Structure 1
């Protein structure tokens, strides 16, 4: 993901970088991020109404996203503004992301970067920080805990691996 960030910075790709920051900072889908307005952000929380679930969420934004938004010029009502009153289209955002993915070689193969994976990244980072499923669900807006647990699986496996090692460091295998 650092390669994505570096490419956006080096090539001054504000749309591709902004959608990335919004997605990993809020755990929302690209379509929901595109519709975020400056008025939805109070300096700490982002108000979101998810298209897919119609869930109304208040999402605490991590320091990284708050700093990014503080430095971002306001060019319209929307964070990703097409003009003063409209947001850019979801397809335009997807195209911007695709171009960066192609340029850095992560569009295909084992190391591919998928924008929906940014949502997974946000959920995994919350799990690794020790947030319970209910808090992760409050951020991602998933209706079922089963979906949250799917996103949490990698963080749980990592922690379980650490816990399975005996305190002495030795083996229990006789």
Structure 2
């Protein structure tokens, strides 16, 4: 479907078409197939500045309404992309169904049917909670129905997440890494930030020996002093463009390019498990190093931006417990030494 085949003000958008008329502040998703009588009827109504009321109460209409909502429009681009992916799955299986006829057991069955991919299964339930809440807002569900997606027990993560890179893997990677892959590695270790923020890092965000960033995922502003190691390494990096990580011509690079760089280096390594360690694991390495340096939870959060202790437990693991226990017992020893008569 090309713009040339569509009428004025109509553009292709996410498998459908969208009517956009900026002079009237109109932006409306059209579910009708272009060229059909239903499409032209809708199009003519929009030209007159009117949006017809949804005629059918089904998931197709619910999804289109949600995509037009302020709640969806305010989401971060990455979150929008994730929602569109999982909502697309719901649209495929339940598009023609009435939301009022979807009960808790149906969503539970959907969740269980995807048990072999626990993260995706949990996300489907979370997206259903959002959709069914929107259904109540637009009158597709009555108040007494409640939200049938709420209360479904999610699958628990079986591990502590992505593993930190062992010393031998790190050493070999440092020896073999290409300049761009090594730069990504050093930035992840040195700042403890997510790869999404690392890829977007600009030289202008590095001032007075610190990295000034607002995290893309959380909107949390952070000011992070550079480690001596990272400051020394960045002094050797040529400033080719506005971003720290660039292509050969100084242009910003996408996450997919960086991920490919990292995988290529690991594939060339001799370590038998090198390819199992992902870039996000370096964020856990940074967290562990902070604990090993004697930092408490608040100090670690000030660098990594983790929002709560539960996430710190996940990232710090046993290292966090050992360091805190050591400090606690040392405090007891000091108390004993200061007691009268000892």
Decide which of 170, 175, 193 is 1:6's aligned counterpart. Answer: 175
Q: 1:40 to 1:106 in 2, by over 3 A?
A: farther
- Rounded to whole Å, the distance in 2 between the matches of 1:47 and 1:14 is 24
- Rounded to whole Å, the distance in 1 between the matches of 2:289 and 2:273 is 24
User: Once superposed, what is the RMSD of the aligned Cα atoms?
Assistant: 2.4
Q: Please give the secondary structure, in 2, of the residue aligned with 1:87.
A: coil
The alpha-carbon deviation at position 79 of structure 1 amounts to 0.3
The alpha-carbon deviation at position 154 of structure 1 amounts to 2.7
Q: Deviations over 1:71-94 (max 9, x none)?
A: 11100111012345x421111000
Q: Does 1:151 align with 2:315?
A: yes
Q: 1:51 to 1:26 in 2, by over 3 A?
A: same
- Rounded to whole Å, the distance in 2 between the matches of 1:154 and 1:124 is 9
Q: How many residues align?
A: 159
Q: 1:135 to 1:107 in 2, by over 3 A?
A: farther
- Rounded to whole Å, the distance in 2 between the matches of 1:74 and 1:36 is 12
- Show the counterpart of 1:171: none
Greater Rg by CA? 2
What TM-score does the superposition give when structure 2 sets the normalisation length?
A: 0.43
Q: Deviations over 1:24-69 (max 9, x none)?
A: 0000111110111111111421111211111111111111100011
Q: 1:156 to 1:143 in 2, by over 3 A?
A: closer
- Show the counterpart of 1:69: 234
- Rounded to whole Å, the distance in 1 between the matches of 2:286 and 2:308 is 17
Runs of 5+ consecutive residues of structure 1 not aligned to the other structure: 165-174
Q: Does 1:119 align with 2:283?
A: yes
Runs of 5+ consecutive residues of structure 2 not aligned to the other structure: 1-169, 330-342
- Rounded to whole Å, the distance in 1 between the matches of 2:283 and 2:296 is 17
* Aligned ranges 1:21-170 → 2 under 5 Å: 21-82=186-247, 83-84=249-250, 86-105=251-270, 108=273, 112-159=276-323
The alpha-carbon deviation at position 15 of structure 1 amounts to 1.1
Q: 1:71 to 1:107 in 2, by over 3 A?
A: same
Contact 2:288 2:320 in 1 (8 A): no
Q: Which has the higher contact order (CA 8 A, sep 6+)?
A: 1
